Amino acid sequence: MDLEKYLGKNVKVIFIDGQVLRGYCNSFTGKLDTEDENHDEITIKTKEHRFVGFNESEIKSIEITN
């Protein structure tokens, strides 16, 4: 999954547990710079939270929105 392409975009994320999160992708971290070094990570800003971070293993699908 190429999470870097979502940086600076509004996104809709569907997680593997069915939860949905919409927001603005404000950071990307490549897997070599993450704690587990296995998965890329992104952070998105939502209406409720300034930073919500997660890695690609938690994502079922992600899409760019308007």
Tokens (6 digits) for 66: 């308007």
Task: Confirm whether 61 is domain-assigned.
Answer: no
Q: Which residue has the higher pLDDT, 37 or 57?
A: 57
Would you say residue 15 lies in a domain? yes
Mean pLDDT over residues 1-15, rounded?
Answer: 96
Residue 18 structural domain:
1-29
Query: Is 14 among the domain residues?
Result: yes
Whether 39 is in a domain gets the answer no
Confidence of residue 1 (pLDDT cuts 50, 70, 90): confident
Q: ∠ at Cα 22 (19, 27), nearest 5°? A: 110
Q: What local confidence, expressed as pLDDT, does residue 35 receive?
A: 85
24-48 per-position pLDDT tens digit: 999 999 998 988 889 999 999 999 9
Residue 18, domain member (yes or no)? yes
Structure confidence at residue 53 (pLDDT):
95
- Whether 40 is covered by a domain: the verdict is no
What pTM, to 2 d.p., does this model score? 0.89
Q: What's the domain count of the chain?
A: 1
